[in-house]
Amino acid sequence: MEAFMTILVVAVPIFEILGILAAMHAVMNARTSQGAVAWAVALVTLPFVTLFLYAIFGRNKFHGYVRMRSQQDAAIHHFRDDFASEARAKQLSRPPKAEADRALVQLADMPPVGFNQSELLIDGEATFARIFEAIAAARSYILVQFYIIKDDGLGRELKDRLVRQPRPGLGAPVDP
C-alpha cells in the first residue's frame, strides 16, 4: 500500500502538469474557440483520461485542416488568375473607385469589372431601399443572395417584388 501511495503522489502531479501543458497546446492550436475551451477544461480537470484522447484525436487536427485548405486554395488560384488576366486583356477590370470597392477587392481577391457596381450599405432601411431600386432597374437578370428571408413585412415585400410579372427579357427569378 505504501508503494502505491508513493506512485500516486508522483503520478498525479506529473499528469496534472502534462494536462496543463497539453491544455496550453490545445488553446494555441485548436481550430475553434469552442474546441480549445473544451480540450483545456477536460485536460486540466481529468488529465488521466483526456491526455490519451487528446494525443489521439486533438493534437494535430488544426495543422491538417490548414494544409488541406492551402491545397484546395492552390487548386483554384489558377482560375482566379486566368479570370483576372482575361479581364485585364479585354479591359473589363477597373481600379477600385471608393473605399467599399477597395474592401471588396481585398475580400474577394479579385478586381471589380467595369460593368459591376458596389455600394457599402450598413443601415437596414437604406439597404432594402437600394435592393428594391436595383430590382426595379434590372435589365437581364436578378441575383439576390440571402441565407434566410423571414416571413415578415420586409420579407414579403422582397418576395412580391421578385415574383411580379417580369419585364420582357427578364425571366421569373423565384417560384412564389
Q: How far apart are CA 91 and CA 113, in angstroms?
A: 9
Q: How far apart are CA 95 and CA 101, in angstroms?
A: 9
Same domain flag for 51 and 91: no
pLDDT in tens, 39-76: 999 999 999 899 888 888 876 656 666 778 788 887 77
Total number of domains in the chain: 3
Chosen domain end from 117, 132, 151: 117
Same domain flag for 101 and 134: no
Cα–Cα distances (Å) from 166 to 19, 74, 141, 144, in that order, read 64, 41, 10, 15
Quote the DSSP letter at residue 114: T
Chosen domain end from 80, 99, 117: 117
Same domain flag for 97 and 139: no
Instruction: Quote the cell numbers at residue 114.
Output: 467595369
pLDDT band at 92 (very low <50, low <70, confident <90, very high): confident
Instruction: Quote the cell numbers at residue 74.
Output: 492552390
pTM beyond 0.85: the answer is no
Alpha helices by DSSP H, 30-152: 33-45, 47-53, 61-89, 99-108, 124-137
63: phi then psi, degrees, rounded to nearest 5: -65, -35
pLDDT of residue 116: 67
pLDDT in tens, 115-163: 666 677 777 788 888 888 888 888 777 777 776 778 888 888 888 888 8
Note down the domain range covering 23: 2-59
